[in-house]
Amino acid sequence: MIRLSAFFRLTSAGWALVRADALIPREVEPLLPPSARWAGRFLRLFRGPAAKRGRPGQRLAAVLEKQGPAAIKLGQFLSTRADIFGAAFADDLAHLKDRLAPFPLTVAKAEIARNLGKPLGEIYAEIGEPVAAASLAQAHPATLLDGRKVAVKVLRPGVERQVQRDSAVLRLAARLAETLAPASRRLKPTQFVEVVIRALDLEMDLRFEAAGCAELGEAMAFDPYMRAPGVVWEGVGKRVLTLTWAEGVPLSDPGALELPGLDRKALAENVTRGFLAQALDHGLFHADLHEGNLFVAAPSAITAVDYGIIGRLGPGERRYLAEILYGFLNRDYARIAKIHFDAGYVPAHQDMDAFAQALRAVGEPVFGRDAREVSMGRLLAQLFEITALFDMALRPELVLLQKTMVTVEGVARRIDPAHDLWAAADPVVRRWIGRELSPAAKMRDFAEEALRALKALARLTEAPPSEPPAKTERPRAWPLLWFLTGAATAGAAFAAGMLLAR
């Protein structure tokens, strides 16, 4: 029954796109290959009255808004890439970030009181009309009893059921893609969809978001690039979240980039560096950094909100990411290729030298050029061709990272069209490389490994409690010798590390 319902919702969504001429819009026909051009002409035989109204982005936004949270999030992502899809298209989708139709304040107040289990007057002096409404929740300005201004986020009524239905549709679409388009299996649609669904499920519990905001706030405090609001824990429940008020103007506001004294170049760099510092230095990052979730103030201050999706990287992934970026910064394509093979991103049977050559073909035309002269659409198409040529499969554990990197670069380039991603990334990447891969760091790691080995050795040499050594047996000398040798090695390594660190 669930699959049948998902099938009808999927076909209904496809039909809505066709009727609105939003699937293969007539405006893009001159840019398409002949096969897609003929497909678009065939689909337009079934278009409806909505196909005659507005631009492609406006028609697509109208369809996505009616399809539910997952479709709206797709629109939010597309709206960050004006450099790929065009400024008009991105602007037409922009309202999906935080300007959807809100639900009434009375409903929100009732939900807040029910969820927190106490009257509103015990926490808030005042709660105002919603100032932002997105796919899953809306935000209200409020004042605490002690006079502090806060933002109260409340989930939409019935949104959990909508997400559940969307999840069923996504799973069905992934299975159909794998069945009907065998070439898509390299991209692992089902695993990709499960990552998306898991992120949506976590967004349904605002207690997790509060914890993510607090954790990332601590990480952000180490650098000046980005800040997080404080969590008001007495105002947190499964469907309610209270945060200190984010100062500034949302970046989705049309006038945000015209604020007096705003340094657009520094602001764009802070977006890129803030994300990379989170991912590389702390192994966790805000994974939904679109304009609606970023508040800006002159000259270049950024406060990020909405911590429903948090990405995490293990030590290995962090190291691979840093070394790949470092390799591009130094135009060392052989090193980049080797890291891809070491990480398993490229199958071992492929030719490493040929892969390095392909990377050079991508990287060299970009370096030294103004970002406005680089076609991101063409660059992404070339990268996709390379992944197919070298049989590179989707890495589900990196989906959030890759999606966020694409979003962050799109946001940064919209702030500053001349934004140089590599120049912005340089200080953060080199700082990580200097700290983690320097001779001092290697000696430190060696000392830590030696200490771990000594602890393991000490456990091995301990006699089991149930079998005490015979009184007549003389203690063996080799465990003591190993211990002394290991201790000397660890001490020497530690001392050398300290000297190099100086």
Is residue 144 helix, strand or coil? strand
Calpha distance 50→211 (Å, rounded): 43
Supply the DSSP symbol for 129: -
Q: Which of 92, 166, 288, 306 is catalytic?
A: 288
Calpha distance 460→385 (Å, rounded): 53
Residues 38, 39, 45, 51, CA torsion sign: negative
Is residue 6 helix, strand or coil? helix
* Amino acid, res. 270: N
- At 266, phi and psi to the nearest 5? -65, -35
Q: Which two tokens stand for residue 460?
A: 């091995």
Calpha distance 494→273 (Å, rounded): 32
Residue with token string 């390379």? 386
Count CB neighbours of 126 within 10 A. Answer: 13
Total residue length of the chain: 502
What are the residues facing 149 on neighbouring strands?
143
Strand order in the sheet with 294-297: 249-250, 294-297, 301-304
Supply the DSSP symbol for 149: E
Calpha distance 391→358 (Å, rounded): 13
Between CA 331 and CA 403, with CA 329 as vertex, the angle to 5 degrees is 110
- At 304, phi and psi to the nearest 5? -95, 140
Calpha distance 175→17 (Å, rounded): 20
Q: Exposed, middle or buried: residue 181 (CB in 10 Å: 0-12, 13-18, 19+)? A: exposed
> What is the CB-side half-sphere exposure of residue 251 using CA atoms within 13 A?
29
Angstrom CA distances, 342 to 43, 316, 324, 345, 350, stand at 45, 11, 11, 8, 12
Calpha distance 202→209 (Å, rounded): 8
- Let me know: does 243 contact 151? Beta carbons within 8 Å: yes
98 is catalytic: no
Across 93-135, the runs of DSSP E, i.e. the strands, are 124-127, 132-133
Residue with token string 């659409």? 377
- Let me know: does 216 contact 286? Beta carbons within 8 Å: yes
- Let me know: does 97 contact 139? Beta carbons within 8 Å: no
Give the catalytic positions in this structure. Answer: 288
